[in-house]
Amino acid sequence: MNFLSDWRVLGKPLCAVLVLFFFDTTLQLSGADRRSDELIARYLKESVRREAILSMEADYQEPKKEGLRLVFTWMRRVRQGLTSHLIRLESPPSERGKLLLVHEKPDGSADYLAYRPNSVLKKKVRISGARDYKYKGLTISVQELIGGELGKYAHQFTGAGQCPDVPCNVVENQLLPKFRGDSDFPRSVIYLRQDNGLLQKWELFGKSGQLEKVIHAEEIRTLQTFPTVTRARVEELKKNSKLILRVKEARYNPTLNDEWFTEKYLAQNSR
């Protein structure tokens, strides 16, 4: 398997997903639209800016194709505005041991580094090859998986709305010009719950301006006192495909070794 095809450029986060699913940038309140920045900052704080070790499953279905399942561990560390994500593939056996490290910086930019297991050379792939995870017919963008890299966007609060089950605040996100080449989704609309600030729905628009993906939070549970999106559904409209992301287990505020989030660790531990 060609590792360069496994971790391909996606300029949009496995992240988010392997979902968005769930990345701290220092958000500067603009004054012109302070409300939108406050909503996004709350969402990040309550979800993807919280240190954790998560055990995850991803089930992918596409018409007329065999379903696929991935199992992975996602570790998050937050230090002085830098959010680091370490993702390790656990299953299927052919993927076990692949490692992806993402450092999301306060200015919205991110560094990606992926390592291929079972390689004498410990082959690594940097930015150009680590923003998508691809396995057979499945492609998961890191942006979706780890929470959308929202520091790359300008935010505009468009009002309150009623999601199917709960009241939501609606924020439109436009990719900043300096990140134009770093995302397949120059525009998105995110629906954030008014009660806990978490994601309820996320609409992602491609470079053509058309709606391409929709992420739905289908289940929220309280784990270790923290409300957590434990099940999300990602619909890719062109393929008519569906990706279900589930949190199997969560450990919040764990003891994390800083060495785990380094290139040296990836080189020594990919297998």
Q: How many residues does the chain have?
A: 271
Distance, CA of 129 to CA of 152 (rounded, Å): 19
Q: Give domain status of residue 196, yes or no.
A: no
pLDDT in tens, 243-262: 999 999 999 999 999 999 99
Residue 46's domain comprises 3-150+227-269
Residue with the two structure tokens 């220092």: 26
Please report whether residue 58 resides in a domain.
yes
Is the residue at 98 inside a domain? yes
Q: Please, are residues 226 and 50 in contact by the beta-carbon 8 Å criterion?
A: yes
Task: Looking at mean pLDDT, say which of 10-14, 50-54, 113-117, 148-152 comes out highest.
Answer: 50-54
Q: What is the pLDDT of residue 167?
A: 95
Q: Is residue 160 part of a domain?
A: no
Helices (H), 12-124: 34-46
Half-sphere exposure of 16 (CA within 13 A, CB side): 31
Q: Which residue has the tokens 């052919």?
A: 94
Residue at 186 is within a domain = no
Domains of the chain: total: 1
The CA distance from 141 to 130, in Å, is 9
**What is the spatial distance between Cα 94 and Cα 69, in angstroms, rounded to a whole number?**
12
- Lowest-confidence segment of 106-110, 117-121, 213-217, 235-239 by average pLDDT: 117-121
- Cα–Cα–Cα angle for 128, 130, 136, rounded to 5 degrees: 115
d(CA 119, CA 53) in angstroms, rounded, equals 27
Strand ranges of the sheet holding 132-135, from the earlier edge strand across to the other edge? 7-8, 132-135, 138-141
Q: Identify the burial level of 225 via C-beta atoms within 10 angstroms of its C-beta, where 0-12 means exposed, 13-18 middle and 19 or more buried.
A: exposed
pLDDT band of residue 11 (cuts 50, 70, 90) is very low
Supply the pTM of this predicted model.
0.82
Asked if residue 78 is part of any domain, the answer here is yes
Q: How confident is the model at residue 162, as a pLDDT?
A: 81
3-state secondary structure of 115: strand
**128 occurs within a structural domain:** yes
Q: Point out which residues pair with 159 in neighbouring strands.
A: 170
Residue 213 included in any domain: no
Structure tokens at 57: 């499953």
Domain at 134, CATH number: 2.50.20
Q: Is 127 helix (H, G, I), strand (E, B) or coil?
A: helix
102 contacts 84 by C-beta, under 8 angstroms: yes
Contacts 24+ apart (CB under 8 A), 27-30: 27/151, 30/154
